[in-house]
Structure 1
Amino acid sequence: MIKFVDFISTPDPKRTKVKFNMNAGDWDKRAWDLLLEDDPEWIGMNRWKTKQSNNNLNYADYLIALAQYYPYGAEYFVFGGLFKVEKIMPEVFNGSGYNLYPMDDYKEYIKRLIIKIDKPIGRDLYNRKYENLQEQLNPEIYELAPSTKLGHFPGYQSVSLKHSDLRQIISQNEPSWKQALSNVKGIYVITDTSNGKLYIGSASGNNEGIWQRWSAYADKRNLTGGNKGFVEILESKDNDYIIKNFKYSILEIFDTKTKVETIIERENYWKGVFDTRKHGMNFN
């Protein structure tokens, strides 16, 4: 076992806090999602200050920020950076009470390094002193991913991928995703997040199911996957439009032995449900 404090050190251990972020007040804004997407709220939640002093950064010159890695479980956290702390004066409560300045130390491990603690941590004790950390929670280095960690396949009903995430999963042949998406046919939806328009598509072939179809969309040489409607969109927009705006989710899955006619029938059903021929991006 490699101890966390033996792997990540700070300029002044006695004046360093470690923050175990879980969410930003509701489960629609989970800390890992904010960190993964470089959302400004990731920094915001670490700057937050309340009158409950044990969860503040008072007397801390440095902060190690962690985000709960919920795909693995409540005991797992991803490294989100080492920061220099500056208290805002006059003091601010129930708001951003600190300025945080990212340090270069260990920045290559951000979104890659996963630690494991002995037991889930309570919301009232998520801010710990670095010098007591190993004794209290026994954190150990669990995994160091070769690049930004996306996590294991979360289940078909929980798939919601930005184009950048889809490209990474496909390019790395991420095992759990490839196995899950290759073993099913299905109906999927692509959302243009800039305007809310939907495209309903299907993977009905017998060779690698949804994985094969989505691999075509992930190819930077042809982001349209051969879709004529997407070609028209790119012709009227810049080349990065799909990369910036498209998101991929699964509506329905089928056994690989399901007949093509059955899947096409269900595809047409979903096109009707969302009226994507009239108000979306389907043209047939």
Structure 2
Amino acid sequence: MIRFTDFMTVPEPGLTKVKFNIRAGVGGAEAWDLLLADDPEDWLDMNRHRERHQNNNLGRARYLLSFAQYYPYGPQYFIFGGFFRVTPVVPELIGGPGYALIPLPQHSEYIKRLIIKLERPVGRDLYLRWYETLQDSKLNPEVHELAPDTKLGTFPGYQNVRLKHHELQRIIANDEPSWKDALSSVKGVYVITDLSSGRLYVGSASGEANGLWQRWAGYAHLRNLTGGNRELERMRVDLGGEHIVGNFQYSILEIFDPKTKAETILKRESFWKLALDSRTHGMNRN
């Protein structure tokens, strides 16, 4: 076992707190989802402690280590979300955040990679702890995993897929289990968006044995990027592969049972090309 405080040291242990975020209030978003969100303010806002009385300034703490419950593993697992300097808000507020959080570079290479395991689940009295007493507390954290790359969330549902190219690369390269299971179990019609221009390409996985997973794997590899499509290949020649990696986004329009006939899916692909006008104003050429 690697003790958490042996692995993650801080400049002033007696002035550092550790926060274990679970969700944003009753019925609110999961902490891990906020850490993953495009807007970092969502994550920072979760870590700005709020009370209904004054002295809402995290006590005398000067630093904060922040974690999000990593629910794909279970309630006792938390993933690192950053190391911050605590700056009190002056004058003090009532009912609002009592301090600002300034991200620090120390341990930043572990953000969304380091997962620790607690000896027991976090309760209302345990979610915010002093660093210097944490290791000997009921939580007794240990280092569970240091992932080689930043973790992604679990598969969000077919209607919520919105992947940048670098995310697609990572999912395919790492055989992310929940994504592979979901995408391999369906055929479908999908859309690729060039975020630099708004142009669309509509495609389908109609005959692949492993459905959308197999089709999208063709786009993920840096030696391919185009899945064999002539128009996308022309774009790569004209604009370079870095344009695709930097600007393409992948989403799902419609899914089908793996037993669905290819001609049925191809008809729906044609419908979406008409509906989105991707032949005239997009990247489809047939």
1:219 partner amino acid: H
C-alpha displacement of 1:177: 2.6
Determine the C-alpha separation between the residues in 2 that align with 1:269 and 1:60.
59
C-alpha displacement of 1:63: 1.3
- Mapped pair 1:256 → 2:263: no
Higher helix share: 1
Gaps of 5+ in 1: none
**Higher mean C-alpha deviation, range 257-266 or range 126-135:** 126-135
Residues 48 and 98 in structure 2, CA contact (< 8 A), matched pair in contact too: yes
1:198 partner amino acid: L
* Structure 1 match to 2:172: 170
Taking structure 2 as the reference length, the TM-score comes to 0.76
Determine the C-alpha separation between the residues in 1 that align with 2:259 and 2:210.
12
Judging changes above 3 Å, is the alpha-carbon distance between structure 1 residues 56 and 129 closer, same or farther for their aligned structure 2 residues? farther
* Structure 1 match to 2:244: 242
* Structure 2 match to 1:181: 183
Residues 199 and 282 in structure 1, CA contact (< 8 A), matched pair in contact too: yes
* Structure 1 match to 2:269: 267
Residues 219 and 225 in structure 1, CA contact (< 8 A), matched pair in contact too: no
**Secondary structure of 2:233's aligned partner:** helix
Determine the C-alpha separation between the residues in 2 that align with 1:112 and 1:96.
29
- Mapped pair 1:102 → 2:75: no
Residues 20 and 122 in structure 2, CA contact (< 8 A), matched pair in contact too: no
**Higher mean C-alpha deviation, range 43-52 or range 53-62:** 43-52
Determine the C-alpha separation between the residues in 2 that align with 1:148 and 1:21.
18
* Structure 2 match to 1:114: 115
* Structure 2 match to 1:69: 70
* Structure 1 match to 2:17: 17
Determine the C-alpha separation between the residues in 2 that align with 1:277 and 1:22.
46
Q: Residues 1-284 of structure 1 correspond to what in structure 2 (within 5 A)? A: 4-5=4-5, 7-21=7-21, 32=32, 35-36=35-36, 39-41=39-41, 44-45=44-45, 48=48, 56-72=57-73, 76-87=77-88, 94=96, 97-98=99-100, 100-104=102-106, 106-116=107-117, 118-119=120-121, 127-131=128-132, 133=134, 135=137, 139-284=141-286
**Secondary structure of 1:114's aligned partner:** strand
1:146 partner amino acid: P
Residues 47 and 96 in structure 1, CA contact (< 8 A), matched pair in contact too: no
Determine the C-alpha separation between the residues in 1 that align with 2:284 and 2:177.
31
Q: RMSD between aligned alpha carbons?
A: 3.8
Amino-acid identity (%): 56
Residues 69 and 78 in structure 2, CA contact (< 8 A), matched pair in contact too: yes
Residues 65 and 81 in structure 1, CA contact (< 8 A), matched pair in contact too: yes
